[in-house]
Amino acid sequence: MTKLPEPDLSKAKEISRHYDFVRKQTITLCEPLQPEDYVVQPTGDVSPPKWHLGHTTWFFENFVLAKELPDYELFDERLNWFFNSYYESQGPRILRTSRGNMTRPSLDIVLAYRKHVDTEMKRLFAHHDGLLPRALGDLITLGLHHEQQHQELLLTDIKYILGTNPLHPALVESADILADKVAMPVVKQGWLAIPEGLYEIGYQGNDFCWDNELSVHKHYLEAFEIGDRLVTNGEYLRFMEDDGYARFELWQMEGIEWARGLDVKAPLYWYENDGQWQYYTLNGMRPIDLDVPVTHISWYEADAYARWADARLPTEQEWEIACRQNAREISKSKGWVENTRYHPQVKDVDQDHQFLGHAWEWTNSAYLPYPRYPRPEGALGEYNGKFMINQMVLRGGSCATPESHIRLTYRNFFQTDKRWQFTGIRLAR
Amino acid sequence: MTKLPEPDLSKAKEISRHYDFVRKQTITLCEPLQPEDYVVQPTGDVSPPKWHLGHTTWFFENFVLAKELPDYELFDERLNWFFNSYYESQGPRILRTSRGNMTRPSLDIVLAYRKHVDTEMKRLFAHHDGLLPRALGDLITLGLHHEQQHQELLLTDIKYILGTNPLHPALVESADILADKVAMPVVKQGWLAIPEGLYEIGYQGNDFCWDNELSVHKHYLEAFEIGDRLVTNGEYLRFMEDDGYARFELWQMEGIEWARGLDVKAPLYWYENDGQWQYYTLNGMRPIDLDVPVTHISWYEADAYARWADARLPTEQEWEIACRQNAREISKSKGWVENTRYHPQVKDVDQDHQFLGHAWEWTNSAYLPYPRYPRPEGALGEYNGKFMINQMVLRGGSCATPESHIRLTYRNFFQTDKRWQFTGIRLAR
Amino acid sequence: MTKLPEPDLSKAKEISRHYDFVRKQTITLCEPLQPEDYVVQPTGDVSPPKWHLGHTTWFFENFVLAKELPDYELFDERLNWFFNSYYESQGPRILRTSRGNMTRPSLDIVLAYRKHVDTEMKRLFAHHDGLLPRALGDLITLGLHHEQQHQELLLTDIKYILGTNPLHPALVESADILADKVAMPVVKQGWLAIPEGLYEIGYQGNDFCWDNELSVHKHYLEAFEIGDRLVTNGEYLRFMEDDGYARFELWQMEGIEWARGLDVKAPLYWYENDGQWQYYTLNGMRPIDLDVPVTHISWYEADAYARWADARLPTEQEWEIACRQNAREISKSKGWVENTRYHPQVKDVDQDHQFLGHAWEWTNSAYLPYPRYPRPEGALGEYNGKFMINQMVLRGGSCATPESHIRLTYRNFFQTDKRWQFTGIRLAR
Amino acid sequence: MTKLPEPDLSKAKEISRHYDFVRKQTITLCEPLQPEDYVVQPTGDVSPPKWHLGHTTWFFENFVLAKELPDYELFDERLNWFFNSYYESQGPRILRTSRGNMTRPSLDIVLAYRKHVDTEMKRLFAHHDGLLPRALGDLITLGLHHEQQHQELLLTDIKYILGTNPLHPALVESADILADKVAMPVVKQGWLAIPEGLYEIGYQGNDFCWDNELSVHKHYLEAFEIGDRLVTNGEYLRFMEDDGYARFELWQMEGIEWARGLDVKAPLYWYENDGQWQYYTLNGMRPIDLDVPVTHISWYEADAYARWADARLPTEQEWEIACRQNAREISKSKGWVENTRYHPQVKDVDQDHQFLGHAWEWTNSAYLPYPRYPRPEGALGEYNGKFMINQMVLRGGSCATPESHIRLTYRNFFQTDKRWQFTGIRLAR
């Protein structure tokens, strides 16, 4: 995968190049799959890869082409039923949990659907050549960021599909799942000190961002310290060996009931064989890398680990300010999906703090609206605004996140029991 | 599909020809499928077609080749885990409800597995040429009847997978889903009178039968009458229109709670569009054929219908004696899977009574052991003997049953809420 | 409790005496309870004692007084809602599983309701003095047998309420929970031989019986042997010690899944303390009596035990004929609720075969209608006829059954997982 | 109920008087109950009144007497099993959902348990007369506030037990459920303006408060407006009539799925009869009072209502500052449990803003720790700290809250679907 040039949103040509890049990337990610892998939904959170291919395409057909391209004809009206995700305003849809039962439309049809929509989008761009209206350009850009979100879900869903199969097949086979030039063993975690202050929170630029990052507002922070790297597998293993999963005083009540009910005793994808821990990676099974950031843990586990370590999780505002003050490394991260390792990386010798591109870091902030957050009207108002309860914010972007998709102010969010994303831990105190 | 010559079980050659015929038929049935169709499990009762292909093959590898062929090497030991169905004695296996999450082994691998086992079975036959020991011959024959059972399940599982997909794709497209030379509209149902007597029940021949048909025993029957054909869609529709699903006095308590809980108001695969009833067939959607036997109903519905019609369901012994006394038509049935219509047929003008080859007929007999039933020891003892509770017996064989697989004494059995088989109704009084 | 004189159904006076006897007995059974004990429903099968008191009274108010006594005024119309059990024809009612949430009407009100109905029933008897119409007499007799069924449920529900309470309080404290003159240790179980024959099954007398016992009909039986006593706790303990609960080859598939899913490893009410087994009786906790018949087991356990013992469960017809041929002991049983021990008794030295009055004996017969069974019309048709699926027949009557309520032809029925009744095992072969 | 004098925590005598007052009040609240009402648990959130009586007593026995009173003997060791709520450190306990199955210990025993502990507490106070150590005094005070929390739960649990009974019995019958001197109809809601600022949040006094109110810290607030009274039943009815429950754009996704799944269309305890809305109050059923604050709604409903009203819910910090700036009315509220109306009151004519003593007001703040929140060690650390996830903060105190128990900084918390408390709505913007 090559690096994406910064799009110039004012010009159709730039957006069109961005469109080609993102749409092609989705296909590239799926290339190693076998046809059967596209179909299943082994748990409610996971969607079949075929569904992601169709849904991201439906977004452009339904919100862009059907409204903006004269004489556009739907590829097949019946596909709305399949590929609408949760847009109440866009009509009925199959139950989310039935996605994995849908063998038809087959992959061939879905790929033809993508091709049809891409061709028509070209016609749309041609129609507006050089003069794409601002609102339309913004809508297409939104669709591309939406597709990039689904690229990350594609990878994590594929990881779940292959990683819970007893054969544990690899998606890719990289010689170098871990990059060079790292400090091994990683040095003891240090602390970055952030002074007290009345800070500004929220997105301040002119490029794309989600509605939930808007409304720049002041937020008072007491002085605090935050870890200069992520918690590693090795550190997490010590928590496990110290009976961390059984000691109720470390947990939230809801958390320990979750762990007991599901008999959780290790991160997702960890398997013990003859006393040795291995984990499934998209490169297949391998021994736990002690110096790699721990991932695939729930908020409950992150919270309990932090308490065990005599620390706590940072709030999302603390994270944002700490990251902003250490922004140097944003450009030099070794993580991101672009390196095609699909695995978090060991901390770099020249002081990368792992803020971006390794793991989504659980914070101790609930996902709630910023002051003055305006829930957008219409279908796109359903995008972020209707999920603002009983979820926690994650920050940072992971090894499965497209680099061009992430920002320091990006607010990701999941329920506290979710583990199939590349979720990790940074301590604060 | 061509007709199978009667195998001579005493000779390896005959069994070998039977083997080739049955194994090929399994593949033939699946040919119209697309790769994605092989993977899913939309409900717990249904298994993925891929699984049927693997499981029937595992049966021969595990019970025949691994034990009887010197130097046999397992194709891949890990496949046991996937393709053991419920044989406790044969080691652990994936949860039945996880079958539909298994994208690997892929279809290619499963087909290679079949080919490997078929090749090795040829080697086994060669090894014994002309002198196959009786016990081994019986075991292989058992495996073939086992595979024929799965052929019927394959068809009904495929019907569920395609029939609950909103696109309702056809598996096959036959010009003639209904055969000629039928009485349309069918004449009013008449009654066949059977005199009182002390009858013999159970399999009396020398060919293959299941253990649960054995132990010929006497059974006293009072005089009774039994319908001279199956209940039709048209008749069932009148029950529906007469508010049959809502009138509790027609139902077993458990039955009406089932219907209310799932909001059942018609047979499975029936859809109402603008006041017209259609149903899904393996030939696609079509208007209800009023003269075709009703199928895809639960025991609860069959029982309620019979009460509505001032009749009752026959016992399995009544059915067996009635069928035996009208055996003429066994050879001339127009049903069976061999006609590749996969649909029950209208009653024939020359007095076919539809006992065989149209629908599995719910009886009012619980599936319990015959007197002196000996539960076989070892793995094959798990075949029929451990399911003898809380199921009801069905008799007759359906349009999805291989003709060579059925007998007058055959005891099929399902739980009272099951509807995905071709299940139908014959009245008695 | 004193013995009931045989009622003469042709005379109002006799029925009236029967009425007084049965109604008073219900109150007597509840006398040891504390007010709180009347309210709860710790599992769906159990009903609160208060509910039994109300429901049996509602039966007389609703089916007798409201229809037959001029100027009768309902005690409180709103009680219909509470005390209708499952009669669809009699209007809406609270969810069965909500019975245990109903603190009102309070016990005082329910007792006043009983008194009101009893007074009005006296008025009804006076109204008809000496000339009670046959149909009305039969209806009242039905109501009394209905109430006697609920007396047994009262005791078993009370046993569940008290026996699952960590304090394990006794209902009664009898010095002599086991009667004298028994063979201890009991002698080895022998076999009673029953010859082949065409027998008559069903109730043949002129007194009260349930609709499901009617339609005397012939049934052919092969020669068989049946145990001359019930299986004891000591014998069942050997099955447990022989790893009986874990050996899948002894079980029905559904049975072993039931046992695994609920972690069942002993009969209900058995508790292990320091390697010693105790059980809860209505006299409180006590060590297992090895010679007492085992009770509180599911059909699954009875079936598995029989297979372990190289035997099987009898069919209900076998049981009926075996009991009829050994009828001598019916009059001399030491069991029945009248002895107020509420516990099965050890086999008597003078050859009591324990057919009646100790435990309900699981048979291997499904609860299905006899030939020519006429489901009665109207509300009383809901009594037995709508439960004829997915239940198994039990025969014999237990230590919680009123003696005047039982008959050799009595067909009790429960689902295969039920254990809160006094259910036991007799072997056949 | 009389007003409690402010306790002087430094003196045993004051605490002892406080103890007598609170303990007596618990009994007073239960006095109108019938014995049966003490036992049941109609839903998992509700505990039986008998359990509250025992659990609050167990708190003193287990945490105070057993540790601090020489020679103290447990009333009955087995009661630990029943009356421990969720303290993992204090040993095993019955399942929360089994509380309603426990008919024993009976009410008599539980009342004797209370008397025993009260007597022994007197002995403890005597032991320390005039010189109660500070830590012990604090612990007892904590136990009393704990019991006051349970007094509120007692009332709301009783309301659920009686209010979901079809007879809808009243707990009390007050002539004057609504107080005089109110503005009826209430005037249009106005707005209180709060200026931007860096405010201090958290408890600053020297009296009792919970650990979760501690750590006074700065919090920046933008300027905002907050409603000068609670939303009324009349206003909420207009939301309902405007199809508010069906319009998905007003709801959080999780919220509308909750409403659809449970078919929620009105607040808890509202019943429609012939087009008229009534509700159950602890005074029995009565027509909806249009001017009374709406209560018994979930966070989901509060959130949807606010969006419908073009407003939002306040954050807990906004609420705290708004209340502090309008503190005048704290002393003159007409709400609180002490008025024994158990019902929120209409807004007062002389400008009561209804901040305290009417309804727990849902905020849009998640229940998370304040900065520097120290989770206490030991058993009492389980009190608040282990519930800090997936709950929302409520502020204000309700008509079921003891006045001496509430503070401006009090943080109550419940899951977003809970409705059995007196929960209400105040708007912000």
Interval A49-67: pLDDT, tens: 999 999 999 999 999 999 9
What pLDDT shows up at residue A95?
Answer: 87
User: Does residue B6 sit in helix, strand or coil?
Assistant: coil
The reported pTM is 0.95
Residues A81, B35: C-beta atoms closer than 8 Å: no
Task: Measure CB to CB from residue D198 to each of A198, A248, A386 and give the nearest one.
Answer: A198
In angstroms, the separation between the Cα of residue B85 and the nearest Cα of chain A is 16
SS3 for chain C is CCCCCCCCCCCHHHHHHHHHHHHHHHHHHHCCCCHHHHCCCCCCCCCCHHHHHHHHHHHHHHHHHHHHCCCCCCCCCCHHHHHCCCCHHHCCCCCHHHHHHCCCCCHHHHHHHHHHHHHHHHHHHHHCCCCCCHHHHHHHHHHHHHHHHHHHHHHHHHHHHHHCCCCCCCCCCCCCCCCCCECCCCCCCCEEEECCEEEEECCCCCCCCCHHHCCCEEEEECCEEEECCCCEHHHHHHHHHCCCCCCHHHCCHHHHHHHHHCCCCCCCCEEEECCEEEEEECCEEEECCCCCECCCCCHHHHHHHHHHCCCECCCHHHHHHHHHHCHHHHHHCCCCHHHCCCCCCCCECCCCCCCCCECEEEEEEECCCCCCCCCCCCHHHHCCHHHCCCCEEEECCECCCCHHHCCCCCCEEECCCCCCCCEECCCEC
A201, B146, C416, C429 from B388: Cα distances, Å: 67, 18, 12, 17
Mean pLDDT of A301-324: 97
**For residue B327, what pLDDT band results from cuts at 50, 70 and 90?**
low
Residues D82, C162: C-beta atoms closer than 8 Å: no
In angstroms, the separation between the Cα of residue A81 and the nearest Cα of chain B is 8
The answer to whether the beta carbons of residues C19 and C144 sit under 8 Å apart is yes
Interval A257-296: pLDDT, tens: 999 999 999 999 999 988 899 999 999 999 999 999 999 9
Residues of chain C neighbouring D169 (CB-CB closer than 8 A)? 104
Residues A106, B36: C-beta atoms closer than 8 Å: yes
Residues A103, B161: C-beta atoms closer than 8 Å: yes
In angstroms, the separation between the Cα of residue D86 and the nearest Cα of chain A is 9
What pLDDT shows up at residue D338?
Answer: 87
Q: Interface pTM (ipTM) of the complex?
A: 0.95
Chain A partners (3+ C-beta pairs within 8 A): B, D
In angstroms, the separation between the Cα of residue B166 and the nearest Cα of chain A is 8
What pLDDT shows up at residue A4?
Answer: 47
Residues of chain D neighbouring A255 (CB-CB closer than 8 A)? 389
What pLDDT shows up at residue C10?
Answer: 58
Is the pLDDT at B155 greater than 80? The verdict is yes
Torsion of CA C299, C415, C80, D263, to 10 degrees: 130
**For residue C131, what pLDDT band results from cuts at 50, 70 and 90?**
confident
Is the pLDDT at B372 greater than 70? The verdict is yes
Q: Report the alpha-carbon distance of residue D109 to residue C193 in Å, rounded.
A: 57
**For residue C95, what pLDDT band results from cuts at 50, 70 and 90?**
confident
Residues A372, D307: C-beta atoms closer than 8 Å: no
Task: Measure CB to CB from residue C390 to each of B375, B388, B416 and give the nearest one.
Answer: B416
Residue A230's nearest CA partner among A407, A321, A361, A331 is A361
Q: Report the alpha-carbon distance of residue B4 to residue B23 in Å, rounded.
A: 12
Chain center to CA of A308: 27
Interval A82-138: pLDDT, tens: 999 888 888 888 888 889 999 999 999 999 999 999 999 999 998 887 788 889 999
Mean pLDDT of C223-252: 97
Cβ-based neighbour number of residue C97 at 10 Å: 10
What pLDDT shows up at residue B183?
Answer: 63
Residues A167, B104: C-beta atoms closer than 8 Å: yes
Residues of chain A neighbouring D248 (CB-CB closer than 8 A)? 88-89, 386
Residues of chain C neighbouring B258 (CB-CB closer than 8 A)? none
Q: Report the alpha-carbon distance of residue B163 to residue B282 in Å, rounded.
A: 8
Is the CB of residue B415 less than 8 Å away from at least one CB of chain A? no
Q: Report the alpha-carbon distance of residue D152 to residue D259 in Å, rounded.
A: 26
**For residue A329, what pLDDT band results from cuts at 50, 70 and 90?**
low
Interval B63-92: pLDDT, tens: 999 999 999 999 999 999 899 988 888 888
Is the pLDDT at B168 greater than 80? The verdict is yes
**For residue A211, what pLDDT band results from cuts at 50, 70 and 90?**
very high
User: Does residue B395 sit in helix, strand or coil?
Assistant: strand
Q: What is the DSSP letter of A65?
A: I
Interval C253-310: pLDDT, tens: 999 999 999 999 999 999 998 889 999 999 999 999 999 999 999 999 999 999 999 9
| Whether C and D touch (3+ CB pairs < 8 Å), yes or no | yes
Chain D partners (3+ C-beta pairs within 8 A): A, C
Is the CB of residue D284 less than 8 Å away from at least one CB of chain C? no
Is the pLDDT at B181 greater than 70? The verdict is no
Give me the total of CB pairs closer than 8 Å, taking one residue from chain A and one from chain D. 84
The answer to whether the beta carbons of residues A136 and A67 sit under 8 Å apart is no
Give me the total of CB pairs closer than 8 Å, taking one residue from chain B and one from chain C. 83
Residues D369, A368: C-beta atoms closer than 8 Å: no
What pLDDT shows up at residue C149?
Answer: 97
Task: List the beta bridge partners of residue D394.
Answer: D362, D412
In angstroms, the separation between the Cα of residue C388 and the nearest Cα of chain B is 7
A250, B277, D143 from D210: Cα distances, Å: 20, 65, 11
Which pair of tokens denotes residue C179?
A: 């009667």
Nearest-by-CA chain A residue for B78: A167
Burial class (CB in 10 A: 0-12, 13-18, 19+), C160: buried
Q: Report the alpha-carbon distance of residue B303 to residue C388 in Å, rounded.
A: 11
Strands A392-395, A360-366: pairing kind: antiparallel
Is the pLDDT at C379 greater than 50? The verdict is yes
Q: Report the alpha-carbon distance of residue C394 to residue C303 in Å, rounded.
A: 13
Task: Measure CB to CB from residue C389 to each of B252, B371, B381 and give the nearest one.
Answer: B252
In the block, which residue shows the tokens 């509430």?
Answer: D406
Interval A2-42: pLDDT, tens: 444 444 445 788 899 999 999 999 999 999 999 999 999 99
Going by C-beta distance under 8 Å and a sequence separation of 6 or more, which residues neighbour residue B2?
A: none
Which pair of tokens denotes residue D285?
A: 């059923």
Interface test with B, best of A83, A108, A167, A280 (most B CBs within 10 A): A167
Q: Report the alpha-carbon distance of residue B361 to residue B426 in Å, rounded.
A: 6
* C 208-267 residues with CB < 8 A to B: 217-220, 222, 248-249, 251-255
Please give the single-letter amino acid code of residue A66: A
Task: Measure CB to CB from residue D101 to each of C40, C82, C105 and give the nearest one.
Answer: C40
Q: Report the alpha-carbon distance of residue B365 to residue D167 in Å, rounded.
A: 45
N-to-C CA span, chain A: 39
Is the pLDDT at C49 greater than 70? The verdict is yes
Task: Measure CB to CB from residue C167 to each of D36, D78, D169 and give the nearest one.
Answer: D78
A162, A337, D253 from A173: Cα distances, Å: 14, 15, 40
Is the CB of residue A77 less than 8 Å away from at least one CB of chain B? no
Following DSSP, what letter does each residue of A282-314 receive, concatenated? Answer: TTEEEE--TTSBP-S--HHHHHHHHHHTT-BPP
Task: Measure CB to CB from residue D34 to each of C34, C103, C165 and give the nearest one.
Answer: C103
What pLDDT shows up at residue A94?
Answer: 83
Residue ranges in chain D modelled with pLDDT below 50: 1-9
Residues B103, A50: C-beta atoms closer than 8 Å: no
Q: Report the alpha-carbon distance of residue D187 to residue D181 in Å, rounded.
A: 14
